Amino acid sequence: MRVLVLGGSITGITTAYYLAKDGCEVTMVEVNEGLGMEATASNAGILAAGHSFSWASPREPQQLLRSLFGQETAIRIKLKPDPRLYVWGLKFLREFTADRSRRSS
């Protein structure tokens, strides 16, 4: 089986490794010159369930906005005059409720 893995994060690298180990022909596509240069670099390549949180928490929109304008952020958005982006953003923000947070936690 031929598989395409998008992104050379810790998750992408691990996924590619285990797929190849299982006999798949794996191709990885990474936008950067090296692996682990984006979100993986921000969290030191660590995936830990103890650091998980519910994105649906009512406090998250404020934290998300702060992180978008930080120097070292895992999330980057290039704002452009695309109404679809803003419609999606409003739908996304509508999901940040206490009930949704409880259910997803």
Same domain for 99 and 58? Answer: yes
Pairing of strands 25-29, 2-6: parallel
- In this prediction the pTM is 0.42
Q: What is the pLDDT of residue 51?
A: 54
- Same structural domain for residues 43 and 65? no
Assess whether 45 and 1 both reside in one domain.
Answer: yes
* Measured distance CA(13)–CA(22) in Å, rounded: 14
Per-residue pLDDT of the chain in tens (105 residues, 90 and over written 9): 999 999 988 889 999 999 999 999 999 999 888 887 776 666 655 666 555 556 677 777 777 777 677 666 666 667 788 899 889 888 888 888 888 777 776
Domains identified in the chain, total number: 2
Tell me: do 42 and 65 sit in the same domain. Answer: no
| pLDDT given at position 15 | 92
The per-residue DSSP string of the chain comes to -EEEEE--SHHHHHHHHHHHHTT-EEEEE-SSSSTT-SHHHHTTT---GGG---TT-TTHHHHHHHHHTSSS-S------S-HHHHHHHHHHHHT--HHHHHHH-
Domain that holds residue 41: 1-49
pLDDT number for residue 23: 96
